[in-house]
Amino acid sequence: MKKILYLALSLVLICLLSSAVGAESLTIMHSEPPLTMDPSNHSASYTMAVLYPMYETLTDFNQDNEVIPLLATAWEASADGKTWTYQIRQGVKFHDGSKLDALAVKKSFSRILNPDNGLSSRSRFASVIAKIETPAEYTVKFILKKPYPAFQHLTSIHSGSIVSPAAIDKGNDFLARNAVGTGPYKFKEWKSGERVVMVKNENYWGKVPEVDQLVFKWSSEKSVRVMALQSGEADIIFPVPPAYAKIIKNTPGLTLMEEASDKTEWLALNTLNKPLQSIKVRQALNYATDRQAIIQSLLFGKGTIANSPMGPVSFGYDPDCPAYPYDPEKAKELLAEAGYADGFTLEIAVQEAEANIAEALQGMWSEIGVKVVIHKMEYGLWADEVFSAPENNKGYSVIASWAASLLDADGFLTPLFHTDSFVPASANLGFYSNPEVDKLLDQAANTVDQSKRKEFYSKAQRIIQHDAAHVSLYYANSLAGLNNKVANVWLLSDMLVLRHPTIQE
Amino acid sequence: MSKYIIRKLLMLPVVLLAVSFIIFMILRFIPGDPARLMAGQQATQQDVEMMRTKLGLDENIFIQYADFLQNALQGDLGNSMRSSKPVISEIKSRFPNTMALALSSYTIAVSIGIVSGVLAAVFQYSLFDQAVMFMAILGASTANFWLALIAMNFFSVKLGILPLMGSGSWQHLILPSLSLAFYPTALIARMSRSSMLEIIRQDYIRTAKAKGLGAVIVYCKHALRNACIPIITVVGLHFGVLFGGAVVTETVFNWPGIGRLLIDSVRYRDYPLIQGTVLLTVVMVVLVNFLVDIIIVKIDPRIRLD
């Protein structure tokens, strides 16, 4: 017994000694841990938010989602939209002292493009970029495979972050555990299961940050995140579960930050299920869905009805795309016209966290005679099920959400609705196919004229909406909780953005 | 005794080999594709295939196992698929935390559990006995995450005297170890009471009392020594459970231990990390059982292991 006590005591002491906090520091608490420190090998918005203060891209999105200069000072496209020339900012140093120049930029992109590295964001860049040239010390030329009008969006997304050439030489495993960028904060440590700590970069090319240290932590427990904010153990929490929004709003000293998000929640109707091949049936389900009730009950009002199959923040979104009103009578008529007056059975695959949406639909659709069978699944199982090719696919309709980090319709409509995107190739989960839509999406992707692109995308959205490929449900607002002393932090779609946070007394 | 120890120690590698094979195969047959989960929902099939090759998942499963075994024998359990950190170092960084939590909550559970259980038995049907049994039923039937949340809200948010979560100081250990101790305390108290009650009705206790021995000596020396054999068995068994199963407590308190590591790695089907944590848990369970056997022999000379 005595021995055990001594052991316990000494272990406690070890824990005590390993603690280290100090200086002016901000603690941010997310719901998920970061997956990696490699910006080009993941697509998780919480991982992005952690890497964002440390890594920078050639161009960036501002608060209004417009593209602005960052590591590139200027850029231009050739008339045919196939050559993009970027002027690189001079006098910028990476955290390890390496110099930022055209060669470093080329090396960083070449790492992504090289198939041997097997990085998850490769195809996004490799499908567009044919060649990179460095005509001058601070000039980089991207020669594209085809005109790509949203290229400045592509150089703004986090996975195109510029990585130190010296760090690249240390290999991918090194970059998975360490961050070496040009950002205002330098990587200090990643203690798995605990925290990621970064300290301010005194040699930052821009304004040196005011806050000395950022600490990212995470807890999957919603109530714990809220308590952390209340007790002062976290200065920022993201996301805030809608059920707790009111508590934070009403607590003195705390602020609730609320922003429209690009994240679109939907049910992909699987056309392998025979009744769902009929447009009328799919429309009927859309009419039978009381979206406002779902938003009220599940989101506590913190969201808006999805009027389009794509997110409202991305370029190309059509705010006038008509939403389906709640009209169960009309739904019944349509079902009868389609020959399913007595209803049919629809099976839904859903992850546990979103099962309440499926249950809401189950209730609403039972009123028009549609029987919903819910398959609640753990994440890995769900991904196996919904990404299976037609020959193995069980024909489940799928509840999921989508947000395009590209903030462009191309990152939304093409993967979800193009015929070439049938799973498992990409994410057309319901095998929706309309040649007209395919043509519009292809045209838009090959046009440089932004107003024309907008037109193409608007048409495509309206057709998809009319065809009712999805039951588009809602855009949930992004909610963050902040201690009042924190400033200069904002939400961009579904990501918490902080590069230059400040603390006010 | 020494024969027994040697035999047990020789069994350990065999047990580990069998467990490693079972775990390795089960992981690869359960649904969930690590390549897809790593690449993310927005990845194209091409990305996923590339990831699969990179993770070495396109090889024959038996070749994969042979590779794993060969590396494991050299002390290399591979790298976490997700973070690329070596599995050994991931476990090493978590192990002391789990140990600290397990030992501190066990110290609480064993001391409070045995003392209150024994006293409850000695003063059977007293108010104290009834209070202890009430607490024991409460402890055994209260969900510990619920208790944890209530305690966090009270001590950290309302009073602000204890850290809410995380690790780093002994104060951080208080709430998680108390909430983790709740259930085993109840279990041990009930166990101690019932096994003590059985013993104190026996003839030799009556004889000891009749000889005029003091109550403390009778109960603590003569009775407890016999009563504690079932208690130690339960404590030992539960320790193994606790070691791999403090998942909920670790999650709620953000305690960086083995349980949370396991849960996170299951979500992403991080095969090497799951294998590593399960193997470690097996080693711990085997060792604790082994220790329990030895302690019991020490206490009760009638029991022979050989």
Residue A405 sits in a domain of what CATH number? 3.10.105.10
| Statement to judge: residues A79 and A186 lie in one domain | no
Instruction: Give the pLDDT confidence score for residue A164 in this predicted structure.
Output: 97
Structural domains counted in chain A: 3
Please state, for a pLDDT cut of 70, what percent of chain A lies above it: 95
Given CB atoms, is A433 within the 8 Å cutoff of chain B?
Answer: no
Residue A458 pLDDT class (50, 70, 90 cuts) = very high
> How many Å lie between the alpha carbon of A34 and the closest alpha carbon of chain B?
9
Shortest distance between the Cα of B31 and any Cα of chain A, in A, equals 5
Q: Which of A112, A143, A166 is the last residue before a domain boundary?
A: A166
Instruction: Output the CA torsion A449→A450→A456→A462 (10° steps).
Output: -170
A106 with A70, same domain: the answer is: yes
Q: Which domain holds residue A412?
A: 264-476
- Asked if A380's CB is within 8 angstroms of B31's CB, the reply is yes
Taking contacts as CB-CB distances below 8 angstroms, the residues of chain B near A115 are 50
**Burial of A17 (C-beta count, 10 Å sphere; 0-12/13-18/19+):** exposed
**Dihedral angle of Cα A451, A457, A462, A466, to the nearest 10 degrees:** 170
- Looking at residue A16, its pLDDT comes to 44
Identify the pLDDT of residue A3: 53
Same domain, A235 and A248: yes
For residue B260, which residues of chain A lie inside 8 Å, CB to CB?
Answer: 193
Mutate to test the interface with A, among B49, B76, B101, B254 (most CBs of A within 10 A): B254
B164 contacts A227? CB cut-off 8 A: yes
* Number of residues written out for chain A: 505
Q: List the single best residue of B27, B38, B44, B91 to mutate versus A (max A Cβ within 10 A).
A: B44
Question: In the prediction, which pLDDT does B40 show?
Answer: 77
| Interchain pair A12, B254: CB under 8 A | no
Which are the contacts of A205, defined by CB distance < 8 A and separation ≥ 6?
A: A89, A91, A92, A93, A182
Residues of chain B contacting residue A402, judged by C-beta atoms under 8 Å apart: 41-42
**In a shared domain, residues A493 and A470:** no
Per-residue confidence at B37, pLDDT binned at 50, 70, 90? confident
Query: pLDDT tens digits, residue range B206-227?
Result: 888 888 888 888 888 888 888 8
Interchain contact A251–B (C-beta under 8 A): no
Instruction: Write out chain B residues lying below 8 Å of A231, CB-based.
Output: 156-157, 160, 164
* Position A7 pLDDT exceeds 70: no
Which residues does residue B4 pair with via DSSP β-bridges, in sequence order? none
Last residue of a domain, one of A166, A188, A219: A166
For this complex, say whether ipTM is above 0.90: no
* Of the partner residues B37, B157, B160, the one whose CB lies closest to the CB of residue A383: B37
For the stretch A71-90, pLDDT in tens is: 999 999 998 889 999 999 99
CA separation for the pair A232, B156 (Å, rounded): 10
CB contact under 8 A, B149 and A223: yes
Q: Using CB atoms, pick whichever of A224, A379, A415 lies closest to residue B252.
A: A224
Q: Per residue in B126-170, pLDDT tens?
A: 999 999 999 999 988 888 888 899 999 999 999 999 999 888 888
Position A19 scores a pLDDT of: 41
CB contact under 8 A, B45 and A426: yes
Is A308 in contact with A291 (CB distance < 8 Å)? no
Residues A209 and A275 in one domain: no
| Neighboring chain B residues of A230 at a CB cutoff of 8 Å | 157
Residues of B in contact with A190 (CB under 8 A): 83
Q: Is the pLDDT of residue A23 over 70?
A: no
Cβ of B38 within 8 Å of Cβ of A120? The answer is: yes
What's the confidence (pLDDT) of residue B245? 56
Q: Which pLDDT band holds residue B290 (cuts at 50, 70, 90)?
A: confident
Do residue A150 and residue A207 come from a single domain? no
Q: Does A191 contact B93 at a Cβ distance shorter than 8 Å?
A: yes
Minimal CA separation from A116 to chain B, in Å: 8
Inter-chain contact A194–B84, Cβ cutoff 8 Å?
no
pLDDT at A464: 97
What pLDDT, in 10s, does the model give residues A236-254? 999 999 999 999 999 999 9
Which chain A residues contact residue B84 at CB under 8 A? 36, 172-173, 176-177
Partner B contacted by A413 (CB < 8 A) = no
Residues A239 and A358 in one domain: no
Contact across the interface for A123 and B264, Cβ inside 8 Å: no
- List the single residue in B32, B42, B167 with the smallest CB-CB distance to A43: B42
State the smallest CA–CA distance between residue A327 and chain B in angstroms. 33
Contact B156, B82 (CB under 8 A): no
State the average pLDDT over residues A450-479: 95
Shortest distance, CA A409 to any CA of chain B (angstroms): 14
Q: How confident is the model at residue B51 (pLDDT cuts 50, 70, 90)?
A: confident
pLDDT at A6: 56
Which residue among A5, A15, A425 sits closest to B45, beta carbon to beta carbon?
A: A425
- Residues A148-160, mean pLDDT to the nearest whole number: 90
Give Cβ neighbours of residue A306 (< 8 Å, ≥ 6 apart): A264, A265, A266, A291, A323, A472, A473, A474, A475
Statement to judge: residues A72 and A117 lie in one domain:
yes
Q: What average pLDDT does range B267-288 have in this prediction?
A: 88
User: Within an 8 Å CB–CB cutoff, is residue A254 touching chain B?
Assistant: no
Domain annotation for chain B: domains and CATH numbers: 2-73 (no CATH), 95-256 (1.10.3720.10)
Nearest partner of A253 among A274, A231, A285, judged by Cα = A231
- CB within 8 Å: B165 and A218: no
Average pLDDT over residues A326-341: 95
What is the pLDDT, as a whole number, of residue A15? 46
Q: Do B44 and A425 touch (CB under 8 A)?
A: yes
- Same domain as A326, residue A452: yes
Looking at residue A22, its pLDDT comes to 40
Question: CB–CB of B156 and A227 under 8 A?
Answer: yes
Given B38, B110, B254, which is nearest A219 (Cβ)? B254
Beta carbons of A118 and B53 less than 8 Å apart: yes
With CB atoms and an 8 Å threshold, state whether B157 touches A231: yes
Strand partners of residue A495? A492
Name the pLDDT band for A235 (thresholds 50, 70, 90): very high
Q: What is residue A18's predicted lDDT score, i.e. its pLDDT?
A: 41
Is residue B193 very low, low, confident or very high in pLDDT (cuts 50, 70, 90)? Answer: very high
Cis link prior to A424 (omega < 30° from 0)?
yes
CB-nearest partner of B164 from A173, A231, A415: A231
What gap in Å lies between CA B214 and CA B32, rounded to an integer? 64
Rounded percentage of chain A residues whose pLDDT exceeds 90:
78
Phi-psi region of A91 (alpha: psi -120 to 50; beta: other; left: phi over 0): left
Give the residue-averaged pLDDT of B254-273: 89
Give the model's pLDDT for residue A114: 93
CB pairs under 8 A between A and B: 173
What's the count of helices (H) and strands (E) in chain A, helices before strands?
17, 23
**Residue A232 banded pLDDT, cuts 50, 70, 90:** very high
In percent, how much of chain B has pLDDT > 70? Answer: 98
Q: Over the stretch A167-216, which tens digit does the pLDDT of each residue have?
A: 999 999 999 999 999 999 999 999 888 899 999 999 999 999 999 999 99
State whether B43 and A230 contact (CB < 8 Å): no
Average pLDDT over chain B reads 87
| Shared-domain flag, residues A405 and A428 | yes
Q: Which residues of B touch A194 (CB under 8 A)?
A: 166-167, 254, 256
Kindly indicate the confidence band of residue B244, based on its pLDDT and cuts at 50, 70 and 90: low
Domain shared by A347 and A432, yes or no: yes
> A107 pLDDT band (50/70/90 cuts)?
very high
Q: Which one of A114, A146, A166 terminates a domain?
A: A166
pLDDT single digits (tens) A349-358:
999 989 999 9
Smallest Cβ–Cβ distance between B84 and the set A11, A122, A176 belongs to A176
**Contact: B165, A233; criterion CB under 8 Å:** yes
Average pLDDT (B232-240) is 82
The owner of tokens 């996170």 is B264
Nearest residue of A to residue B87, measured between CA atoms = A192
Average pLDDT of the residues of chain A: 91
Q: Answer yes or no: is pLDDT of A405 > 90.
A: no
Strand duo A67-69 + A478-483: pairing: unpaired
Residue B270 has pLDDT above 50, yes or no: yes
The pLDDT value given to residue B212: 85
Judge if A344 and A413 occupy the same domain: yes
pLDDT at A8 over 80: no
Q: What is the pLDDT of residue A266?
A: 97
Q: How far is CA A380 from CA A247, A377, B44, B95, B129, in A?
A: 33, 8, 17, 27, 49
Side-chain-side CA neighbours of A209 within 13 Å: the count stands at: 28
pLDDT over threshold 70, residue A12: no
Q: Could you say which of A12, A400, A426 has the minimum Cβ distance to residue B44?
A: A426
For residue range B100-116, what is the model confidence (pLDDT) as tens digits? Answer: 998 899 899 999 999 99
pLDDT(A434) > 50 = yes
Q: Is A380 on the interface with B (CB under 8 A)?
A: yes
B257 contacts A11? CB cut-off 8 A: no
CA angle A226, A231, A235 (to 5 degrees): 70
Give me the pLDDT at residue B83, please: 81
